[in-house]
Amino acid sequence: MRPMRVEDLDAVMVVERRAYPWPWSIGIFRDCLFAGYPAWVLLEGGAFIGHGVLSVAADEAHVLNVCVDPARQGRGHGRILLRAMVQAARGRGACRVFLEVRPSNPAAIALYQDEGFNEIGRRPRYYPADNNGREDAIVMAMELLGD
């Protein structure tokens, strides 16, 4: 794993498009990098297999994007990315970390719960869904206690 760079964005987009029916645009990634958001790429044998983007402001962090190539999911790569983001949030003085997840993504929900995140609410109609519909987001948070 290493910090994401602008020159990585074409490869990041390949993974993003494989993983999500409504992927982020390259412009969103570029804006996050230019804004100085911590972002990482996960590599295996030189191949891009995942990425993550975090925002940190004041004492709160927000996991904006965690993505692992579908062909490599279920092998702990998402956990590696998530743990790195939580550690980065802690290192930047955050007291809590938030994220949103689709209710239709039970594997991600299970990972987040296993890593210490708890559901704190819902955002109605947050995500795009099939047939021009919308899907709620489960809002989860983790308190970062001092070590």
Query: What is the predicted pLDDT for the residue at 40?
Result: 97
pTM above 0.85, yes or no: yes
Query: What is the predicted pLDDT for the residue at 124?
Result: 93
Query: Model confidence over 61-98: pLDDT tens digits?
Result: 999 999 999 999 999 999 999 999 999 999 999 999 99
| Token couple for 73 | 């999911």
Query: What is the predicted pLDDT for the residue at 130?
Result: 85
Residue 105 annotated in ligand binding? yes
**Which residues of the chain are under the pLDDT cut of 50?**
none
Catalytic residues: 100, 112
In the sheet that holds 60-68, the strands lie side by side as 2-3, 39-44, 47-57, 60-68, 96-101, 133-143, 118-129
Task: At 67, give phi and psi (nearest 5°).
Answer: -145, 130
The DSSP bridge pattern shows strands 96-101 and 60-68 to be parallel
Task: At 39, give phi and psi (nearest 5°).
Answer: -145, 145
Query: What is the predicted pLDDT for the residue at 128?
Result: 87
